[in-house]
Amino acid sequence: MVADSRKRILDGALDLLRAEEGGSITLESAARQVGLTKPGLMYHFPTKHALMLAVVDHVAARWERLLRERLGRPPQEVSAHERISVYAQVALEAEFDRSDFAIFADAHYHPALTEAWTRHLTPWVSLPDDLPARERATLLAARLLADGYWISAAAGLLTVDEPDRLALRAVLENLLTPIR
Interacting residues of 107 by C-beta distance below 8 A, sequence separation 6+: 56, 113, 114, 116, 117
Q: What are the distances in angstroms from CA 112 to CA 30, 58, 115, 175? A: 21, 14, 6, 35
Contact 26, 48 (CB under 8 A): yes
Distance CA 24, CA 18 (A): 9
Distance CA 13, CA 27 (A): 9
What pLDDT, on a 0 to 100 scale, did the predictor assign at position 74? 94
What is the dotted CATH code of the domain comprising 1-46?
A: 1.10.10
What pLDDT, on a 0 to 100 scale, did the predictor assign at position 137? 95
pLDDT string in tens for the chain (180-residue length)? 567 889 999 999 998 888 755 667 899 999 999 999 999 999 999 999 999 999 999 999 999 999 999 999 999 999 999 999 999 999 999 988 888 888 888 877 888 888 989 999 999 999 999 999 999 999 999 999 999 999 888 888 888 889 998 999 999 999 988 654
What pLDDT, on a 0 to 100 scale, did the predictor assign at position 108? 78
What pLDDT, on a 0 to 100 scale, did the predictor assign at position 83? 96
Domain topology for 49-179: Tetracycline Repressor; domain 2 (1.10.357)
Distance CA 102, CA 22 (A): 9
| pTM (two decimals) | 0.86
Distance CA 33, CA 25 (A): 10
What pLDDT, on a 0 to 100 scale, did the predictor assign at position 179? 57
Distance CA 5, CA 80 (A): 37
Helix 98-107 to helix 111-125 angle (10° resolution) is 110
**In the chain, what are the domain boundaries?**
1-46, 49-179
